[in-house]
Amino acid sequence: MYVGQDISPEALKETWSSTLRNKGRRVTKQRLAVLTAVQKHQHSPAEAIVEAVREELPSITVQSVYVILADLVDIDLLRRFEPPGTPALYETRIGDNHHHAFCIRCGKVEDVDCAVGSAPCLVPNNFHGMALLSADVLYQGICADCQTSEEHELATRQQAAAAAEHPHVFKVAS
Ligand SMILES: [Zn+2]
Ligand SMILES: [Zn+2]
Ligand SMILES: [Zn+2]
């Protein structure tokens, strides 16, 4: 199931509620508030989700949010993933084996559809007799914004270096 952005909040809550019941969980306002917060803040760490949940339920404890997050991951209502050097991030887009592109400069995360469509989308030459379930795919790179600012910095530095080396360039020829 892929919970997209184009579904109304009411329909989303209906979908979440029926999944919770199917998994033997009670539908509580705490669980729905956590799901709503993650839906609004995709690819966010637990800390940011606590903050968002508290806008709706000011008295909820940090511990409760963490426990609910872990449980929602267990019952496949949320997906948790951990890019290198960052805390775990949560999202409501589940069950479609999509991957992530991660900017090593600013930590921005983007969804990338799986080119193959289902796990495991990478099949090694030798998998030692294992029944393969999944392959972790993380694209790492430098996002467009960071590329632009790096190019800008480089250009500024090159101009400064050129001006220092060749001061005559800026003199008016006689
Ligand atoms: Zn970036
Ligand atoms: Zn994602
Ligand atoms: Zn894939």
pLDDT per position as a tens digit, 87-130: 999 999 998 999 999 999 999 999 999 989 888 898 888 889 99
Q: Are 104 and 77 contained in the same domain?
A: no
Q: Are 127 and 65 contained in the same domain?
A: no
* Rounded average pLDDT over 22-38: 97
Q: Provide the domain limits for residue 155.
A: 96-165
Name which of 122, 11, 136 is nearest 79 in CA terms: 136
- The reported pTM is 0.82
Which residues lie below 8 Å from residue 79, measured CB to CB, with a gap of 6+? 73, 90, 91, 92, 93, 94
Q: Are 32 and 56 contained in the same domain?
A: yes
Return the CATH number at 55: 1.10.10.10
Among all ligands shown, which has an atom nearest to the Cα of 140? 1
Which residues have a beta carbon within 5 Å of ligand 3, which is an ion?
Answer: 114, 116, 121
Ligand 1 centre and the CA of 150: distance in Å? Answer: 10
**Residue given tokens 């966010």 in the structure block:** 44
pLDDT of residue 58: 97
- List the strands of the sheet with 99-103, edge to edge: 109-112, 99-103, 138-141
Residue 26 to residues 34, 128, 174, Cα–Cα distance (Å): 14, 42, 86
**Domain membership flag for residue 27:** yes
Q: How many domains does the chain have?
A: 2
Feature table: binding site: 103, 106, 143, 146
* Rounded average pLDDT over 42-46: 96
74 against 120, higher pLDDT: 74
Name which of 92, 29, 39, 94 is nearest 64 in CA terms: 29
Cα–Cα dist 49/66, whole Å: 9
Q: Are 72 and 22 contained in the same domain?
A: yes
Among 52, 81, 110, the domain boundary falls at 81
pLDDT of residue 1: 42
pLDDT per position as a tens digit, 123-151: 888 889 999 888 889 999 999 999 999 88
Cα–Cα dist 72/25, whole Å: 10
pLDDT of residue 166: 72
